[in-house]
Every structure is written in structure tokens, then in C-alpha cells.
Chains A and B, each alone.
Chain A
Amino acid sequence: MDFYYSLAQIIGFHTLLGLSAYIVLQTGQVSLAQAGFFAIGAYVAGMLTVLAGWHLVPAMLVAGIAAALMACLVGFPALRVRGLMLVIATLAFGEAVRIFFFNFDYQIAKGGVQIGPLGGEGFRQIRWFNEHGWTSLQVMLFVWAVVIIVAGALWWSDRSRFGAVLRAVGEDEVAAQSVGINLTAVKVTAMTIGGFIAGLGGSIYAHYTTHIEHLNFNVLLATFAIAYPILGGLRSVFGTIVAVIFVQGFLVEGLRFLGDWRNLLFGALIVLAMNLRPNGLIDAATAQRLARLLGRDQIGREQFGREKRRA
């Protein structure tokens, strides 16, 4: 059973990573910096619980805020460039963060042992869960509580003016400007929120794995971050969650018995999924059909009803 709890935790923090890219992608920006924000969250939260002896929850919040501040700072210059140039700029940022942690030493003596991040050796002993006697079931429930809060907030935002503005900017920047939308403000806000979510995810990851090092936060992780929402579709947070379960639960774990063939099939399945559902597993049209099926989200419902009665 522990295997499944552990898998659920992995799916949990990968979902947070994916959601952090989801909100940025909604504005039409492809950011490979999410792994960098994830790393900042992991290191900051780890240092707060291990070195400063904080409780995990405030440590997570501070880690999220630290990553969000960094995302906001990166957002201003980075979002002046577009498309491929933005991909390169954010990729460079992500790598810069990784190299920073590769060279980052901050150790203090605690109980006769040196603890803290030590460059390429990484940062060991992030054992807050163990030390406080949490079972893996409890950890899993905690992780998913965070995921549900974040996903719920984004689900709500998708329905609000804020979410629609994000999507409008992603659709057409010129039209968005001419209906009075401030592009810079919208993009930087999305980037900042994305940074916060990635920071939360990173702080959970650090405490899940207990040992982090710079290599955990490489380009592959950044690619996964944008792959989830793209694969899942940008219309609904559920798309991203489904995509993470598909990739982490099915492709990575479910196909383990295939050995080396797994990676081949992994790539093929992603190509297949993108071809069958070019706009993601849950695209705008599907989301709308689902909403209609559930009888909700009828925007002009009252007025709609009137129309029908008249007809």
C-alpha cells in the first residue's frame, strides 16, 4: 500500500508543478523556468524546517512567496520577449538557478553533525515528516489537501474575470490590448502566481524525497512542467491533473515492466495523444460539452431560458 501512497504523493507535487505552468501557459507564454521556481521552493522550505526548525506549513508558504518574488522579478524582463525567445530566456534562468544550487553551501552544526545544502552533494536530512511521526497515508492526505486547494483556486479563477483575461491574452495580445487589458500586468501576475504554486510543489517535493540536489531540477523537469498542461489541455485544471496521472501513474510506473522499451513507448504515447487531441485531453470544446452535460456554467442561463420559452 505504501507504494500507492508514495505514487499519489509524486502525482501530487507533479500536479502542482504542472498547474504552475498551466496558469502561465494560459497567457500564451511557454516558460521553462518552472523547474527553477520548484527548486527555490524546495531549498527554501528545506532550510526553514531543517536549519531553522520551522513547522512545515509556514515554511511552505515562505518558500512559495520566495519563488513568487523570483518569478515576478524574472517576469518583467522575460515577458518582453515572446515565443521561442521566451523559451530560451526562461530555460537560461532555470539553468542559472540549478547552477546556483550546485555551488550553494550553507551548513551549520546541529547535534554534532553538519547539516544544510552542500553544493553538488545536495541537501540531505530533510526529514520533517519522519521526525514528526507522519505516516505515508497522512503525508499523502496532506499533499492532496494542498493540491485540492490550489486546483480549486485555479478552477475558480478559470470561471472568474481574471481567468478569462488570462485566456484572452493567450488568444490574441493585440485584441486584448485594444479591449483595455494591460498585457504586462496580466503576464507578470500569471508568472508570479505560477512561481508561488511551483514553490509550494518544490517544498513538498523536498520533504517527500528528504534529499535534494541540483540535478533534480534540470531541463527534463522543466519540460515535464509544461508537458502536463499542454497534454491535458489549457481549458481546465482537470486536464493537467489527468495528464499527470497519465504520465506519472501510467507511463512512468505502469509501464515499468517493459524495461528499456518503456521510454520508447513513453514518447510514442505522448505523440499519439498530441495527434488525437491536438488541443489537449480536455480542450475548450470538450470543457464546454462537459459543462453542458452537468447542466452548469450556462453563462447567460437566465436569458437563455427566456429565449427558449419565447421560441
Chain B
Amino acid sequence: MLEVRGLSKHFGGVRAVDGIDFAIRAGEVFGLIGPNGSGKSTTVNLVCGLYQPTNGEILFEGNDIAAVPTHRRLSLGLARTFQNIRLFANLTVWENLWMAENAPSHRAEAGFLRRWVGGRGNARHRIAEALEFSGLAHRADDLAGSLAFGEQRRLELARALAAKPKLLLLDEPAAGMNAEEIAQLDERIRALQQQGYTILLIEHHMELVMAVTDRVCVLNFGRKIAEGTPAEVQANSAVREAYLGTAN
């Protein structure tokens, strides 16, 4: 589904991402882990187009998407959440979800005028479902900025889902969550995989990563140091060194 070949991003002399390769198969939950500053978020920003790669290719369903502007990548089927929540704080919860309704099928369903200046009718049913899934139905008319932290995280996920993506990029969705919320997130990710989503999960919370992912890629200083099933990666000595330091 998504294939990254020799991907690099240099900021001046800093090689934030330095020639990494990985391929995500349709239907799997793929983990991207690594210590702080290892280039995980940069990789996501490259995939969704916020940064232009210095080198390398990003293939989505076989097509190089390097030249596709960020706002078009959503309609290709790439949606994301942000590590540091980026909601439209002064829009209501409902409107936040409405904004993400930009998939080709959404665009096709109403004429230009009806879509842009018409009522909210078309979206009502779908957004009600998204609200139900994320447990935010009772807050539909509240401003997103007034939600509690956990609710904001759930809304971010719901907003990404509202775009009907094929590949979902989750950038540290568990950051700042308590154990109970992480358990809920775990369930949600599994449910999404059941529904047929492919997921790229970036996460520091190892328990979660090891529990929900099918395969994991480990980055350190912008390079890939390991890839494999959670069990393989956990057994890998290079990974242990990167996280814990060398024995001597």
C-alpha cells in the first residue's frame, strides 16, 4: 500500500531521516518506533506532504506521490492525526468532522453549490456515526477547544476517519493518555483493522505497539536499524542498544 524507498530529509546539516526503506501491506498495522529525535514524525510529515523529501521516493498504491500537494493526499486516501493535537479549536466538534469530509466520494455526492453553500444534510448521517464511534455524540455542538484532552485525541482520530482514508497515519496517539484511555485506544485500533483500514502507528508506548502491530520498523538517528514482528524486534540487540545504551 505504502512503500518508502531511500527516503531522506536533511535540515541543513541535520539528517533527520537518512535513507530509510519500508513497505506497508494493505490491511496491516505497521509500527514505527525509535527513541526521541530518531525521525519518526519527520517520516510521517514526509508521507503526508508537509515536508518535501531531500531524496527518495514515496509510493502510495504504486504511484510516486512526491509531487502531489498535501491537500490532495487526503483524497488519495492518506489521513493523519497529529502528535500535538491540531484541532480547529473554535469550530464545533461537528464542524471539525465536517471539514474532513473531503474524500472523492464526498466531493462527488453533491454539486458545487450544494456542497459549498448548501445545508448540512448530506453529512449528518455519516458524522453521527463517526461521533458514535468515538464516543463524542453528546459533545457534537461544543467547541473543539473546550473538550477534555482525551476527548480531543478521540476527535482527532474521528476527524482522520471522516475522510474515509485507506491508510491512517497515527502520530503518537497515546501521548498523554492514562492507562484506561490507552486500553480504549488499543481496542479502537483493533476495531479499525477489522474494518479494513491500514494503519501506520508511531508510538512511544511500547506495550501498545507490541500489542496491536503486525510488524514494526525501528529508527535511530534517522536510519532504520530493525524491522520485523514485535517479537523479533524485541529480541534484536541493535534495538536494545538504541533504547537502553550499550552494556559497557
Q: Which residues of A contact B (CB under 8 A)?
A: 156-157, 160-162, 164-165, 167-168, 171-172, 174-183, 235, 284-285, 288, 298-300, 302-304, 307
Contacts and interface: CB of A to CB of B under 8 A. Distances in A.
Interface residues of B, number: 43
B227 to A, nearest CB: 26
B179 to A, nearest CB: 28
Contact of A176 (B82, B89, B94, B99): B99
Nearest to B74: A180
B117 A175 contact: no
B99 A300 contact: no
B140 A171 contact: no
Interface in B217-245: none
A303 B128 contact: yes
B140 A304 contact: yes
A300 to B, nearest CB: 4
B92 interface: yes
Nearest to A300: B140
Task: Summarize A's interface: helix, strand, loop or mixed.
Answer: helix
A160 B120 CA distance: 7
B71 interface: yes
B33 interface: no
B117 A168 contact: no
B89 A299 contact: no
Given A178-B74, A183-B71, A299-B141, A171 B48 contact: no
B140 A180 contact: no
A171 B89 CA distance: 7
A303 B89 CA distance: 22
B75 A180 contact: yes
Contacts of B117: 156-157, 160-162
Contacts of B115: 161
Contacts of B72: 180
A160 B116 contact: yes
Contact of B74 (A179, A285, A300): A179
Contact of B87 (A175, A285, A298, A299): A175
B80 A178 contact: yes
A170 B53 CA distance: 27
B85 to A, nearest CB: 9
Interface string B109-146: 00000011111100010011001000001101101000
A164 B80 CA distance: 20
A307 B71 contact: no
Given A167-B91, A172-B86, A172-B88, A300 B128 contact: yes
Nearest to A185: B71
Given A157-B117, A178-B79, A179-B100, A284 B90 contact: yes
Given A168-B99, A307-B138, A179 B163 contact: yes
B86 A174 contact: yes
A177 B143 CA distance: 20
Given A175-B86, A304-B141, 13 more contacts: A156-B117, A160-B116, A161-B116, A161-B117, A164-B98, A172-B88, A175-B87, A177-B71, A178-B48, A179-B99, A299-B141, A300-B141, A303-B131
A142 to B, nearest CB: 26
B42 interface: no
B72 to A, nearest CB: 7
Which are the 5 A-B pairs with shortest beta-carbon distances?
A180-B102, A180-B74, A300-B140, A175-B86, A171-B88
